[in-house]
């Protein structure tokens, strides 16, 4: 019997593939790697590209990944695929956006927040009215 290894390709949002294979090819950062069963433990980053899985039947399946991580153990391969295109400056831009949103929210008295405030005040007045009504009913 040919030696096989278990392959899991998962992304943060869903499981993409899980099954056995005889050989797996992945676009590692230092160049494409081919992993056969009983490979030494390895962790590496992936570049955007194709992960190819050769099954026992000799078929070849390919999955596109936009980057991610590859973890190899002698009989298990895990591909942690990214769903987003990652780059340092891109991430930086998004972090800036998140900060700006916070600043905007704090300075901006936009309709949405005023609405929440009005709602809270309304709830307070309703409670006050209810209390007054109760007091009146008693006296």
Partner 1 sequence: MAGSKEIRTQVASIKGTQKITKAMEMVAASKMRKAQERMLATRPYAEKIQNVVEHLSQAHPEYHHPYLQMREPKRVGLIIISTDRGLCGGLNINLFKSAITSMKEWDAAGLEIDLTLIGTKSGAFFKRLGGNIVATATHLGDTPSIVELIGTVKVMLDAYEAGTIDRLYLAHNEFENTMTQNPLLKQLIPVAAEPDEQLKDHWDYIYEPDSRPVMDALMIRYIESLVYQGVVENVACEQAARMVAMKSATENADDLIDELQLIYNKARQAAITQEISEIVSGAAAV
Q: Which DSSP letter does residue 75 get? A: T
Determine, following the binding rule CB under 8 A, whether residue 29 of this chain makes contact with partner 1: yes
Determine, following the binding rule CB under 8 A, whether residue 62 of this chain makes contact with partner 1: no
The span from the CA of 38 to the CA of 20, in Å, is 14
| Residue of the chain from 14, 111, 135, 137 that contacts partner 1 (CB under 8 A) | 14
Name the token pair of 76: 């298990």
Determine, following the binding rule CB under 8 A, whether residue 97 of this chain makes contact with partner 1: yes
Kindly report each contact of residues 13-19 with a partner whose C-beta sits within 8 Å and lies 24 or more positions away, as own/partner. Answer: 13/83, 16/63, 16/81, 17/53, 17/61, 17/63, 19/53, 19/55
Residue 76 or 129: which CB sits closer to partner 1?
76
Determine, following the binding rule CB under 8 A, whether residue 50 of this chain makes contact with partner 1: no
Binding site for partner 1 (CB under 8 A): 8, 10-15, 18, 28-30, 40-45, 68-69, 71, 78, 80, 82-84, 86, 91-99, 101-102, 105-106, 112-113, 116-117, 120
């Amino acid at each position: 019997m040919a030696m096989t290894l278990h392959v899991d390709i998962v992304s943060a949002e869903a499981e993409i593939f899980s099954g056995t294979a005889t050989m797996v090819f992945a676009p590692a950062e230092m160049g494409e790697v081919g992993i056969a069963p009983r490979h030494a433990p390895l962790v590496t980053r992936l570049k955007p590209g194709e992960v190819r899985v050769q099954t026992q039947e000799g078929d070849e399946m390919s999955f596109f990944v936009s980057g991610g991580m590859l973890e190899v153990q002698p009989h298990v391969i895990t591909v942690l695929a990214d769903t987003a295109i990652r780059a340092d400056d891109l991430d930086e831009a998004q972090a800036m956006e998140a900060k700006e949103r916070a600043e905007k929210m704090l300075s901006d008295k936009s309709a949405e927040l005023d609405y929440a405030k009005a709602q809270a005040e309304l709830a307070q007045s309703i409670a006050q009215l209810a209390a007054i009504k109760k007091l009146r009913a008693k006296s």
